[in-house]
Amino acid sequence: MLVTGQPAALRDIGELFENTSPDREVAAMAQRIARRLALRRRPPERRGGRGAGRLASVPYRYRSDDIDLDRTIEVLTERPVPEETDVVVRERMHARRDVVLVVDVSGSMKGEKVRVAAATVAALSEEVAARGDRLALVAFWSDAALLKPLDAHVPAGRLLDQLLRIPARGLTNVGFALAVAHAELARSPARHRTAVLLSDAVHNAGPDPRAVARRFPRLHVLLETDGEHDALLAADLARLGRGRLAPVATHRHVAPALNRLLGQVS
C-alpha cells in the first residue's frame, strides 16, 4: 500500500459533470443490469409480528394477531364502545438503518467494473427502499463527491448515470472517501448506521485509511477482485470497522454478497 501526503478535496457535482457524458453503450448496459437486478431482488410482502426486531406493544393495524391482553384490558376499561384499533398487539418493530455506499471510480469505469457498480447501486437501492431505510452515495478517486446525501431522494437510475458521468481518474484515496462517508453517517440519528465500501482497495493516494475505518459503527467491504486488488487492506478495513469482507469477481456476485453483509440487521 502506498501512503502519500497528497491532499484531497470534496468536489461539487456540477463541477464534475460539466461537459461530460457517459458512453451510451456502457450506460445502456449498466441500466439493463440495474433494472434486471432490482426486479429480481424485490422482496415478498412483510407481515407484522414476524421476523427479527424489537418486540413492542402497538395498536392493532390489521396485521399482527399476537394480542397483548394486559395492555388491551387497560385500554378497554376506558372505552365504553371499543373499536378494533383499541386492541393492543405485539409486533416486531424494524429499527431504521442508514447506509452510505462508497464507490471507487478511479481508473476507467468500463467492463466488469461498471457492471459491478451498476449491480451494487441497484441492489442496495432496492434493499434500502424495501425496508424504509435511507441511502447515501459517495464516489471517490484521489478526491471524492457526495452524489446523494442521506436526506435526498434520487432514483437509482439517476445515481448510476451520475457515477458514469464522472471522468476517469487514476489515483485512489480510500482514506478520504471513508472520511466523507463517516461525516455523512455522523449526521444520522438512526439506530443502525452502516457504510459499504466497493473498491479494489488499491490505495495509492493520501494517508493510511485504517485509522478512519476504526471510527465507523459498521463498515463492510465489497472487494472487487476482477483485476489488481489488495485483499489484505480490504480485510483490515472490514475488521477495524467491525464489519465483514465479501469478494465480488463479477456483477452476479453482488446481490448475494450484500445479502450476507446486510441481511442480519432489523
Tell whether 182 and 113 lie within a shared domain: yes
**Comparing C-alpha atoms, which of 112, 93, 130 is closest to residue 198?**
112
* Assigned C-alpha cell, 229: 486488488
Residue 49, domain member (yes or no): no
State the pLDDT at residue 74.
72
150, 98 in Cβ contact below 8 A? Answer: yes
Tell whether 174 and 70 lie within a shared domain: no
Residue 122, domain member (yes or no): yes
Tell whether 80 and 160 lie within a shared domain: no
Out of 10-19, 85-94, 163-172, 257-266, pick the least confident: 85-94
State the pLDDT at residue 265.
45
State the pLDDT at residue 49.
39
Distance from C-alpha of 158 to C-alpha of 178, rounded to nearest angstrom? 23
Name the pLDDT band for 105 (thresholds 50, 70, 90).
very high
Tell whether 88 and 175 lie within a shared domain: no
Residue 203, domain member (yes or no): yes
Question: The dihedral of CA 109, 6, 223, 158: what is its sign?
Answer: negative
Residue 146 has pLDDT above 80, yes or no: yes
Which of residues 75 and 229 earns the better pLDDT score?
229
Name the pLDDT band for 43 (thresholds 50, 70, 90).
very low
**What's the CATH number where 216 sits?**
3.40.50.410
State the pLDDT at residue 160.
86
Residue 51 has pLDDT above 50, yes or no: no
Residue 8, domain member (yes or no): no
- Give the count of beta carbons closer than 10 Å to the beta carbon of residue 126: 21
* Assigned C-alpha cell, 30: 449498466
Tell whether 87 and 99 lie within a shared domain: no
The helix/strand count (H/E) of the chain reads as 9, 8
Tell whether 73 and 173 lie within a shared domain: no
> What are the distances in angstroms from CA 145 to CA 54, 117, 122, 155, 216?
36, 16, 19, 17, 19
State the pLDDT at residue 95.
67
Residue 138 has pLDDT above 70, yes or no: yes
Distance from C-alpha of 28 to C-alpha of 74, rounded to nearest angstrom? 59
Distance from C-alpha of 147 to C-alpha of 154, rounded to nearest angstrom? 9
Name the pLDDT band for 64 (thresholds 50, 70, 90).
low
Among the candidates 93, 120, 154, a domain finishes at 93
Residue 53 has pLDDT above 80, yes or no: no
Residue 130, domain member (yes or no): yes
Tell whether 157 and 58 lie within a shared domain: no
pTM: 0.77
Residue 210, domain member (yes or no): yes
State the pLDDT at residue 48.
39
88, 79 in Cβ contact below 8 A? Answer: no
* Enclosing domain of residue 73: 54-93
Phi-psi region of 223 (alpha: psi -120 to 50; beta: other; left: phi over 0): beta
157, 28 in Cβ contact below 8 A? Answer: no
Residue 4, domain member (yes or no): no
* Assigned C-alpha cell, 197: 465500501
101, 84 in Cβ contact below 8 A? Answer: no
Tell whether 77 and 139 lie within a shared domain: no
Tell whether 213 and 172 lie within a shared domain: yes
Out of 20-29, 56-65, 124-133, pick the least confident: 56-65
Tell whether 19 and 78 lie within a shared domain: no
Tell whether 180 and 58 lie within a shared domain: no
| Three-state DSSP state, 93 | strand
Domains contained in the chain, number: 2
Q: How many residues does the chain have?
A: 266
Residue 6, domain member (yes or no): no
State the pLDDT at residue 2.
76
Task: Give the model confidence (pLDDT) of 215-236 as tens digits.
Answer: 999 999 999 999 899 999 999 9
Tell whether 134 and 185 lie within a shared domain: yes
Name the pLDDT band for 82 (thresholds 50, 70, 90).
low
* Assigned C-alpha cell, 209: 485509511
Among the candidates 68, 93, 118, a domain finishes at 93
**Comparing C-alpha atoms, which of 240, 230, 245, 241 is closest to residue 3?**
230
In the beta sheet, which residues pair with residue 194? 99
